[in-house]
Amino acid sequence: MSDTIADPAFEPPPEAQAFYEEALRLLKESGVPFLLSGTYAVTAYTGIRRPTKDLDVFCKPGDYPRILAFFQARGYRTDVEDERWIAKVWKDDKHFFDVIFAMSNGTIAVSDSWFGPDRITVYGHEVTITPPTALILSKAFIQDRYRYDGADVNHVILKQAEAIDWKSLLDQMDLYWEVLMAHLLNFRFAYPTERGLVPAWLMTELIGRLQAQVDLPPPRVKVCRGRLFSPRDYIADISEWGFGDVVGKGLEERHDPVA
């Protein structure tokens, strides 16, 4: 179990707190396994307080239809925003919570390994939160012009290094080991006195992969993996410069709710 903050405090919109309490109560009543993530998990693990405007509920891909059906049967409006990773449950036109079952770029899905023993009390309900390893996975690819979660990754490593399953983290990032290495280098730069928090074997493994890659010929298929970080910031690469797209998303993306 991780060393969570004894009494984490959250700052939701006052008018939304009653809805969040109701949503968590019903989620627990549903019997469907779920995790609370986002700002709630970051605050619990690091003590950093910041306002939150939503509720990020994580579940396995096979369970998200069950959550939506449970709430829909009780009069809530549901919206499958993108079947690859996110749905929403709406109380009214203002209040909703996200149901997230994979990363937005499709690289990693929520799995049983994301469920651990860490629990916090939020709005009167004891709920399970994403463990540090899964929290890093959920934030590793969020590198957008308007949002970058690298600081969250650094803070989770700083405060929860002993609770991180480094082998599992590497296994799940195996195809994207360069992304993991970049985060770890950023951590070493941000906290030079704390470099020892990242296991030496992991840095040695990643450096060995990079060294082996340096003298290899470039891939023959010209792709841009930048859209795994930000679909909108790498549009020219796909539409004008001849790079193949590995994301499979439209060049113009909607992020607003469907009316």
Per-residue pLDDT tens for 19-28? 999 999 999 9
The reported pTM is 0.90
pLDDT digits (tens, 9 = 90+) for 63-102: 999 999 999 999 999 999 999 999 999 998 888 999 999 9
Among 256, 250, 254, CA closest to 227: 250
Mean pLDDT across the chain: 91
CA distances to 27, 106, 218, 245 from 227, in Å: 33, 11, 19, 8
Locate the domains of the chain by residue range: 14-215
In this prediction, residue 52 has a pLDDT band, given cuts at 50, 70 and 90, of confident
Rg (CA), the chain: 19
Q: Hey, how many other C-beta atoms are within 10 angstroms of the C-beta on 120?
A: 21
CATH architecture for segment(s) 14-215: 2-Layer Sandwich (3.30)
Q: List, for residues 158-214, the tens digit of each pLDDT value.
A: 999 999 999 999 999 999 999 999 999 999 999 999 999 999 999 999 999 999 999
pLDDT at 16: 80
Q: Output the pLDDT for position 123.
A: 87
pLDDT, greater one: 171 or 9: 171
